[in-house]
Amino acid sequence: MTQPIRWLQNEIADRMLQKLEIVKLDVKNVLVVPDFLGEHARALSKRFLKSRLHSLHEADLSGLSLWKFRVSRLWHSRFASSYSSPFDIYKITGRLPLQDNSVDLVFSVLLIQDLPDPRHFLKECRRVLKEGGLLTFSYLGPDTAKELRLEPFSKNLDLQTLPSSWDMHDMGDALLGEGFSDPVMDMEFLGLDYENDSLLLEDIKALNLTGKKAIEAVQMEALPKKLSLEVVYGHAWVIGKHLSKAQDHVAYIDPNQIGRITRSDSA
């Protein structure tokens, strides 16, 4: 995502925080990925007092914006030790730059639809989460911008498919397959109406639905006046990290984890 869609990130983050209000969780370390300049950091620090806020921020932050971001994250971490780096580190290395079992909550807003391998991201989230930790996330589902796929819009806009257009059933299966427990999924449609074609084009580009060249070549009169976003929400727990990876949704205990109880008979 890019700057023009900041309002959407803020709105979805707020809805995710509302869903977290009913969740009981002792949080000392939070990973926000991707992180962006918004009110979600303030809300997370209020919801989980004395927690440290670790983050992978958007790559397009630089200069004064990056300085403000770092000061803000340090403040919301109550000046405790925290970690912040560009999300590009994950793209390059394939690893979240945190130790195993180091965070209690992973908070991810509108990211998964842009990842070429969401399963690997889920695996990394499980690695850094502690026993009893929670992954909560949102992403754009496959019916996003369905109006644009109709003629003549699809031809004029040269639409491209999101790298990962998973529905919530695909995600639920993936979470179980990667060893998460008790996944909960839900979905809603957000309808956006536009009076200005230029704003619609900016949002389409920011959502990675088409390339720059297609935007420059499109005829304004061949645009719809609305856009539907399918927003998928979910969360899942990390329980039983001492168990081996689930097979067919059945977890198997590693023999090395089985303790042996000995008893000496009294004379």
* Mean pLDDT to the nearest integer, 166-192: 94
Which pLDDT value is given to residue 19? Answer: 93
Separation in Å, CA 26 to CA 51, 94, 130, 195: 9, 28, 11, 45
| CA–CA distance, 264 with 267 (Å, rounded to integer) | 9
249: confidence class by pLDDT, cuts 50, 70, 90: very low
- The set of residues, in sequence order, having a beta carbon less than 8 Å from that of 251 and lying 6+ positions away, is 179, 240, 243, 244, 245
Residue 130 in contact with residue 104, Cβ under 8 Å? Answer: yes
Higher pLDDT pick, 175 / 210? 175
Looking at residue 198, its amino acid is: S
Q: For residues 30 and 130, give the distance between their C-alpha atoms in angstroms, rounded to a whole number.
A: 11
Q: Are 159 and 210 in contact (CB under 8 A)?
A: yes
According to DSSP, the β-strands at 29-35 and 103-108 are parallel
Q: d(Cα 52, Cα 83) in Å, to the nearest integer?
A: 9
218 or 115, greater pLDDT = 115
Q: Tell which residue, 260, 87, 240, 89, has the closest CA to residue 178.
A: 240
Q: Is the pTM of this model over 0.85?
A: no
Residue 222 has a pLDDT of: 63
d(CA 175, CA 222): 40
* Three-class SS state of 49: coil
Q: Please determine, for residue 266, whether its predicted confidence score (pLDDT) is greater than 80.
A: no
Confirm if 76 and 44 have CB atoms less than 8 A apart: yes
The domain defined by 3-257 folds into Rossmann fold (3.40.50)
Instruction: List pLDDT tens digits, range 215-238.
Output: 554 555 567 788 999 999 999 999
User: How many angstroms from the chain centroid is the CA of residue 54?
Assistant: 14
233: Cβ contacts below 8 Å, ≥ 6 apart: 15, 16, 19, 137, 138, 185, 186, 187, 188
Question: Nearest Cα to 109, choosing from 227, 209, 235?
Answer: 235
The Cα 127–Cα 103 span in angstroms is 10
Can you give the residue ranges of every domain in the chain? Answer: 3-257
- Which of the four pLDDT bands, split at 50, 70 and 90, describes residue 181? very high
Joined together, the tokens standing for residue 24 give 């009981």
| CA angle 103–117–92, rounded 5-degree value | 70
Task: List the beta bridge partners of residue 106.
Answer: 31, 135
Judged against a pLDDT cut of 70, whether residue 132 lies above it is answered with yes
